[in-house]
Amino acid sequence: MPKEKLEWHTEKRSVAELIPNDKNPRVMSPKQIEDLKRSLQKFNLVEIPVIDTDNNVLAGHQRLMVFKLLGRENETIEVRVPSRKLSKKECEQYLLTSNRVHGDWDWAKLAENFDIDLLINSGFDDTDLSHLFNDLTVEDDEFDIEKELEKIKNPKTKLGEIYQLGDHTIICADSTDPKTVKRLLGSCKVDMIYQDPPYNIGLSYNKGVGGKKNYGGTVNDSKSDSEFKDFLKSALANGLSACKSNAHIFTYCDQKYIWLLQTLYQELNITNKRVALWIKNNSVPTPQVAFNKQYEPCVYGTVGSPYLSDKVLNLSEIINKEIGTGNRTIEDIYDILDIWLVKRINGTEYQHPTEKPPALHEKPLRRCTKPGDLILDLFAGSGSLMIACEQLKRSAYMVEREPIFVDLIICRYEKLTGCKAKKIN
């Protein structure tokens, strides 16, 4: 005898009278439970549970569980009920199908149409975000720093001011002042400190290098070793006060100060991990030293056990092709090495004493952070880290004591994005 045609209709039941199926194969992580709690609190019950005629649940177990966790077990809700009792086989098949059949995400549309905060608040995790934005790269913004600096006769920025630049924030202040980082970040905690402080190698900010007249700055670049260490320690300690318990620390320096940074890291309970090398495409002539300088070190350490991406595998997006080996196998391996091959800016084109190309920051950002993470730059300079963060969907929090360079960074951001910076204090 053929079974009666199956039809469904909506009825009402108390949450408490619905019976969970002990064969339900789906489980939820604590994070997923919290995500579902937030969703039900905001939108209430949109997708209603499915039950058999005897109140046994076929679909909606997790929603009903969270209802009970929220203390709403006595509420009456709508449910879908079949026109006849299902057989055991039909119940089991529906139980599996309702939990198994899901469409795949169109990751490109998600990345294009939804901002990161919304994705995170909707339950997307680190793996999802890495999948979403894995193809992002850093391109040169072709910003004419020299031309823009020449336009800044009298900086508009004043000491103490804070500006919002889309997802980024900058304060014009001294990074060695404990109040600076607190004002910049408030209660926020950062995932990475990424800094490029003065190198203390006797550069004159009034003469510059490569024939530049000046950089517009007033930094003392001729400190004693002990003074330089105290200077760096004050800034870095302030940064660490705003770090998450698991974070990455990167500090660029001159070769002769690698020891100082590694010692400083030990004193501040930062675990020394590597000295990464930025290999440049041309060298700095040093007639009084046996070998010319062709790399800049970046002392890398960690606190706790911070995030590391396992998605950064294709080096063709990271190594500068003018410097690369031409051997794909070797270049792919370089991706996980502590050697960064990015074309250097010619010395005559420098607008800031230790200026870095934005592409240099791509590898550490992609390897050690994920979209939506917060990066603290205690010496913002010309803003190249912010340019990389903007393109990789990270948020840069920047400190820069020189008003002229804050003006420059604001101009650089506005030209890249077409958006206006906003003074927020």
**What are the extents of the domains in the chain?**
8-102, 103-127, 133-423
13 forms beta bridges with: 77
- Residue 392: is its pLDDT beyond 80? yes
Do 127 and 355 meet the contact criterion of CB atoms below 8 Å apart? no
pLDDT of residue 71: 93
Q: Tell me the C-alpha distance between 400 and 387, whole Å.
A: 15
Give the C-alpha distances (Å, rounded to integers) separating 289 from 336, 337, 373. Answer: 32, 28, 42
For range 205-226, the mean pLDDT: 57
Q: Name the residue among 344, 421, 419 with its Cα closest to residue 384.
A: 344
* pLDDT at site 238: 98
User: How does strand 190-195 pair with strand 76-82?
Assistant: unpaired
Q: How many CB atoms lie within 10 A of CB 415?
A: 13
Q: And the tokens for 124?
A: 């997307």
CA atoms of 35 and 128, how far apart (whole Å): 15
pLDDT confidence of residue 207 = 45
User: What's the confidence (pLDDT) of residue 304?
Assistant: 98
Decide if 391 contacts 136 (C-beta within 8 A).
yes
Q: Are 163 and 421 in contact (CB under 8 A)?
A: yes
Query: Would you state the pLDDT for residue 29?
Result: 84
Assess whether pLDDT exceeds 90 at residue 113.
Answer: no
C-alpha to C-alpha distance for 151 and 172, rounded to whole angstroms = 19
Give the three-class secondary structure for 161: coil
What pLDDT was estimated at residue 316?
Answer: 34
Q: What is the mean pLDDT of residues 56-62?
A: 91
Confidence of residue 99 (pLDDT cuts 50, 70, 90): low
Contact 376, 394 (CB under 8 A): no
329 compared with 96, residue with greater pLDDT: 96
CA distance 390 to 165: 10
The answer to whether the CB of 354 falls within 8 A of the CB of 198 is yes
**What's the average model confidence in pLDDT over 302-306?**
97
Q: Contact, 193 vs 261, CB < 8 A? A: no
Q: What pLDDT does residue 350 have?
A: 42
Same CATH topology for 8-102 and 133-423? no
pLDDT band at 134; cut points 50, 70, 90: confident
Q: What is the CATH number of domain 133-423?
A: 3.40.50.150
| Residues 160 and 147 sit within 8 Å (Cβ to Cβ) | no
- Report, as an integer, the average pLDDT of 300-316: 78
- Which amino acid type is present at position 79? V
- Secondary structure (3-state) at 85: coil
Q: How far, in Å, are 83, 201, 297 from residue 256 at the CA level?
A: 81, 9, 10
pLDDT at res. 23: 78
Q: How confident is the model over 149-202, as pLDDT tens digits?
A: 889 989 999 999 999 999 999 999 999 999 999 999 999 999 999 999 987 765
User: What pLDDT digit, counting tens, does each position of 229-259 carry?
Assistant: 999 999 999 999 999 999 999 999 999 999 9
Residue of 59 and 127 predicted with greater confidence: 59
Q: Which of 85, 94, 21 is nearest to 57 (CA)?
A: 21
DSSP state of 318: T
The predicted structure's pLDDT at residue 217: 58
CATH assignment of 8-102? 3.90.1530
Residue 74 clears pLDDT 60, i.e. is over it: yes
Spatial distance between the Cα atoms of 245 and 424, rounded to a whole number of angstroms: 28
Q: In what order do the strands lie in the sheet with 76-82?
A: 8-14, 76-82, 50-51, 57-59
Average pLDDT of the segment spanning 65-94: 90
Dihedrals φ, ψ of 236, to 5°?
Answer: -70, -40
Measured CA to CA, the distance from residue 376 to residue 190 in angstroms comes to 6
pLDDT value at position 356?
A: 82
Distance CA 264, CA 260 (A): 6
E strands, 334-373, in order: 339-341
CB 265, CB 300: distance < 8 Å: no
